Structure 1
Amino acid sequence: MKNLRYIREQNGLSQIQLQMKTGIDQAMLSRYESGERTPSVEKLLILSRYFGTSVDYLLDLTDEPTPYPPKKAES
């Protein structure tokens, strides 16, 4: 998940600072960034909402950090 590391560094955050802001353990953030572990859906949502990006971007499936538009309410 090199995009996670990139976006974290672009925001001037250390892994410890990101842990304090998201509640995700620093050791787990390190494992996500190194590719040792894949975050759960819950953790991906926390990170994507915090950074204002898509889960696909965090998972390195796209180079486009812009999130998808929100789902329209069903009437």
Structure 2
Amino acid sequence: MSSFSENLKICRKRRRESQEVVAVHCGIAGGTYRRYESGEREPSLSMFCVFADYFGVTLDQLAGREPLPFGED
């Protein structure tokens, strides 16, 4: 699993939301979101930005280039 997919999962769990809830809020299908989180697919840059904005983190934090502002809960 890539740093991105791991961080995406950490961010979602921190908010205590399901994959479906995040997908709806970000305007994508639930299956697409699940593939991002499992590492089967990589999002476009614009979708990457949507996730970073939604979770309140920077692109570098979401990509794993910098630590997330919160640890793994």
Aligned-CA RMSD value = 1.6
The offset of 1:4, in angstroms, is 0.3
Cα separation, partners in 2 of 1:65 and 1:38, compared to 1, 3 Å? farther
Aligned residues: 66
**Stretch of structure 1 that moved more, 19-28 or 36-45:** 19-28
| 1:48 aligned partner | 52
Say which one has the larger Rg: 1
- Distance between the aligned counterparts of 1:61 and 1:38, measured in 2? 16
What is the TM-score when the length of structure 2 is the normalising length? 0.78
- Distance between the aligned counterparts of 1:64 and 1:49, measured in 2? 13
Gaps of 5+ in 2: none
- Greater RCO, 1 or 2 (C-alpha within 8 Å, sep 6+): 2
Q: Percent identity?
A: 33
- Distance between the aligned counterparts of 1:24 and 1:53, measured in 2? 19
Q: Relative to total residues, which structure has the larger helix share, 1 or 2?
A: 2
Q: Which runs of 4+ in 1 moved over 6 A?
A: none
Match of 1:35 among 22, 39, 42: 39
| 1:9 aligned partner | 13
The offset of 1:45, in angstroms, is 0.7
What is the TM-score when the length of structure 1 is the normalising length? 0.76
